[in-house]
């Protein structure tokens, strides 16, 4: 594999830790870019425009919800069509061979699950589910998508007309001109008429305590923590890296670009995720078969 001497040393450290088994993976948006879902920096390295909608905005007005669902309705197609890449598949292979003990993901795209890692803890929830804020019933996004499509026939086509594809963010939010969203019709909960929200943690909302607790337990039991494709920009993920480092648990970071956890890591690899993980998986399973 190409890369610097530091990358080669990082890859060796990664393989050694995986061989020791009991590795917990913490994944972020960078793991899904090879599946066609842009990360927060986008392919060109530019930041997304505007900030994601907060929980307070979403629950505060119909207009905000209309804007959220219109943009999400357009972005959902890309998320729904995305397939796991070599990185997700390597993680699942390593889990099956016993080298990876658990997966915690900051991603809401469901791609670990799609790769077969059904036990992956979705720290920030998942876009494939929708929750009613009144009766708390959880339903499928695919079902809601059909309802929104019926209520807004031709909307997606209209959006695609004037310019090339709208820019997409990893939370399934497509960037649309403000005027376009005004006529979008949203759908209420079929059971109680309440407000529907994707089953993801919004900015301004906290991750449910039992879920955080579960992640701390996984990190406490880990022999090593491996960060895959996250710049650890938000405390939500960074706290687990700090927790592991404090306990003397080795941390390896695989990410193309600097992260907020770099000074806590024993090794770093700054190469494309899919190739690194496929290579690590090959080496580990060749030397230490299950
Ligand atoms: Zn309801």
Find tokens 């209309």 and name the residue: 66
Q: What sign does the CA torsion over 126, 141, 109, 44 have?
A: negative
Q: Which residues pair with 23 in a beta bridge?
A: 100, 224
Q: Check residue 52 and give its pLDDT.
A: 85
CA of 257 to the centre of ligand 1 (A): 42
pTM, entire model? 0.93
What does the pLDDT look like over 85-139, one tens digit per residue?
Answer: 999 999 999 999 999 999 999 999 999 999 999 999 999 999 999 999 999 999 9
CA of 135 to the centre of ligand 1 (A): 4
pLDDT over threshold 70, residue 41:
no
Q: How far apart are CA 90 and CA 253, in angstroms?
A: 16
pLDDT grade, residue 278 (50/70/90)? Answer: very high
Report, as residue numbers or ranges, the catalytic residues: 124
Q: Are strands 267-269 and 251-254 parallel, antiparallel or unpaired?
A: parallel
Element holding 166 (H helix, E strand): none
C-alpha radius of gyration, the chain, whole number: 20
- Average of per-residue pLDDT across 137-143: 97
- Axis-axis angle for helices 209-221, 235-246 (nearest 10): 30
Q: How far apart are CA 13 and CA 252, in angstroms?
A: 8
Task: For residue 268, give both structure tokens.
Answer: 């770093």
CA of 194 to the centre of ligand 1 (A): 5
CA of 196 to the centre of ligand 1 (A): 8
What does the pLDDT look like over 165-222, one tens digit per residue?
Answer: 678 888 888 888 878 888 899 999 999 999 999 999 999 999 999 999 999 999 999 9
CA of 143 to the centre of ligand 1 (A): 15
Strands of 111-257, DSSP E: 121-122, 125-132, 138-140, 196-200, 224-228, 251-254
């Amino acid at each position: 594999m190409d890369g610097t001497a530091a990358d080669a040393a990082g890859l060796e450290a990664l393989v050694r830790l995986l061989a020791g088994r009991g590795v917990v993976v913490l994944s972020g948006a960078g793991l899904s870019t090879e599946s066609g879902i842009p990360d927060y920096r986008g392919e060109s390295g530019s930041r997304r425009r505007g900030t994601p909608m907060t929980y307070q905005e979403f629950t505060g007005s119909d207009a905000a919800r209309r804007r959220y669902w219109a943009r999400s309705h357009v972005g959902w197609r890309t998320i729904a069509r995305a397939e796991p890449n070599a990185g997700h598949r390597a993680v699942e292979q390593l889990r099956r061979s016993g080298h990876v003990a658990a997966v915690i993901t900051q991603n809401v795209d469901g791609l670990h699950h799609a790769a077969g890692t059904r036990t992956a803890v979705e720290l920030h929830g998942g876009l494939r589910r929708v929750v009613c804020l009144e009766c708390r019933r959880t339903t499928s996004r695919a079902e809601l998508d059909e309802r929104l499509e019926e209520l807004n026939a031709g909307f997606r086509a209209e959006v695609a007309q004037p310019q090339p594809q709208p820019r997409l963010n990893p939370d399934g939010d497509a960037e649309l001109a403000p005027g376009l969203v005004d006529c979008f019709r949203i759908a209420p909960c079929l059971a109680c008429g309440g407000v529907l929200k994707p089953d993801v943690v919004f900015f301004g909302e906290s991750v449910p305590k039992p879920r955080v607790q579960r992640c701390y337990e996984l990190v406490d039991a880990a022999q090593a923590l491996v960060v895959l494709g996250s710049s650890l920009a938000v405390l939500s993920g960074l706290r687990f890296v700090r927790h592991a480092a404090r306990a003397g648990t080795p941390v390896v970071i695989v990410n193309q670009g600097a992260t907020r956890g770099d000074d806590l890591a024993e090794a770093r690899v700054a190469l494309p995720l899919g190739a690194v993980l496929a290579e690590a998986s090959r080496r580990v399973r060749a030397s230490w078969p299950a």
